[in-house]
Amino acid sequence: MPRLIDNYERQIDYLRISITDRCNLRCTYCMPEEGITPLRHEDVLRYEEIVRLVGIGAGLGIRHLRLTGGEPLVRKGVVDLVRMLRQVPGIESISMTTNGVALAPIARALRDAGLSRVNVSLDTLRPERYAAITRRGRLEDALAGIEAALSVRLTPVKINMVVVKGVNDDEAVDFARLSLEQPWHVRFIEFMPLGQHAEQARRAYVSSDETRAQIETALGPLAPAEIVAHGPARTWRLPGAVGTIGFISALSEHFCQSCNRLRLTSDGKLVPCLFSDREYDLRGVLRAGADDEALDALWQEVIACKPDGHHLEGALTTTEHRMSQIGG
C-alpha cells in the first residue's frame, strides 16, 4: 500500500474537505453577522472533481476523509457525495464536522450512504445563549441532530465546544458532566487566532489546562481513555463515565509533530497546514486538463512543503484563512 510520508517522517493519511464556504449559522467567533461573500458556484469544486482529487490522494495513501465547511449539510446532494466517495478504492472512513442543525432529517441517509461518524459543534447548552452565539440557530435543532446521529450509529459522536472567555467558559463543567451519562465524546477546543477573529481570540483565549482544572475541581480527576480517532485530541474519562472528554490545544500544546492531515478548500486549493498561507490550486490544474500523473506530482509537492509546525505562540501574525473557508 502506498504511503505519503512528509519531510518530517509524518504519515499523511487524512484529508479534510471543505465542500462549501456557505453556512446556515453565523457563529460570532467564526463569521461576520452579514456572512461572507460566497464563492461563485462555478468556482466551487463539483462533486466529480472532488471525487477525482480524492482518487489521486487515495492512490498516494489518503485513507480517511472528513467533510466540513462552511456547513457541509447546506450543500445540495451531500448524501450523493458521501456515496461517491465511499466507492473510491482505498478510502476507509468518511466523517463529517457539522453544526448539526440540519442533521436529524438526513442522518440515516448519510449513514446508509457510507458516512462513518459525525462531530457536532455545540458551544452551549442554554437556548438563549445558543441563539446569541450562532446568531440564528436553535439549540433544539442541534440537539435533535446529535440524538439522530446516536440513534443511527454515526458513532462515536464527538461534540466540539470552542471555549471562549466570558461567553461559555462557565459551561465547561456542564458539558463534562454530560459525558457521565451520555455517550458523548466532548472535546474542548482552544480558540485559535485565525483571520479576522485573531484579536478576539487573543482576548478570549482559555487554555486547555484552565478548562481541565475547572472540570477536575468540580468532578474529580480524569483518567486516560481511548476512542477511535484520527484527530489531535488526547482523550480522558471521568470515573464511571459512558462518554469521554478531550482537549484540542492547538496553542498551548500543539500537535504538529503528529499532524497527519491535508486540507482541500471548497474552491479546490490543497493546503498543507491550517496555519500557513501556502496553498496549491488543484482546481486550476484539474480544469486545465491535467492527467493523473500531473495531479499526483502536485500532491507530492504539497506534502513536501508541509511545515514542521506552526509558530502562533510568538508574533501576532496569522494566516488570512478564515475558519469558515477552510473548515477547521
Q: Which residues bind ligand SAM (CB under 6 A)?
A: 23, 29-30, 68-69, 71, 97-99, 121, 160, 162, 189, 191-192, 194, 197, 201, 323-324, 327-328
- Interface with ligand SF4 (CB under 6 A), residue from 70, 156, 231, 268: 70
* DSSP states of 183-241: --EEEEEEPP--GGGHHHHHHH---HHHHHHHHHHHH---EEE----SSS-EEEE-TT-
Q: What are the grid coordinates assigned to 193, written together?
A: 487566532
Using CB under 6 A as the binding criterion, the count of chain residues that bind ligand SF4 stands at 13
Residue 121 binds ligand SF4, judged by CB under 6 A? yes
Q: Closest CB to ligand SAM among 4 and 103?
A: 103
Which residue reads 482523550 in cell numbers? 235
Which residue reads 492527467 in cell numbers? 291
Q: Closest CB to ligand SF4 among 144 and 241?
A: 144
- Interface with ligand SF4 (CB under 6 A), residue from 12, 15, 17, 27: 27
State the nearest-atom distance from the C-beta of 173 to ligand SF4, in Å. 23
Q: How many CB atoms lie within 10 A of CB 236?
A: 20
Contact in structure between 185 and 305 (CB atoms under 8 Å) = no
Residue 26 binds ligand SF4, judged by CB under 6 A? yes
Going by C-alpha positions, the residue among 173, 201, 198 that lies closest to residue 186 is: 173
The contacts of residue 291 (CB under 8 Å, 6+ apart) are none
The contacts of residue 180 (CB under 8 Å, 6+ apart) are 219, 238, 240, 241, 242, 243
Which residue reads 512543503 in cell numbers? 305
State the nearest-atom distance from the C-beta of 223 to ligand SAM, in Å. 25
Q: Closest CB to ligand SF4 among 71 and 279?
A: 71
| Residues from 254 through 313 that contact ligand SF4 (CB under 6 A) | none
Residue 71 binds ligand SF4, judged by CB under 6 A? yes
Residue 324 binds ligand SF4, judged by CB under 6 A? yes
197 binds, among ligand SF4, ligand SAM, none (CB under 5 to 8 A by kind): ligand SAM
Applying CB under 6 A, which part among 46-54, 66-74, 103-111, 191-199 lies near ligand SF4? 66-74
How many whole angstroms separate alpha carbon 266 and alpha carbon 45? 6
Q: Closest CB to ligand SAM among 88 and 326?
A: 326
Which residues of this protein are in contact with ligand SF4, per CB under 6 A? 23, 25-27, 30-31, 69-71, 99, 121, 323-324
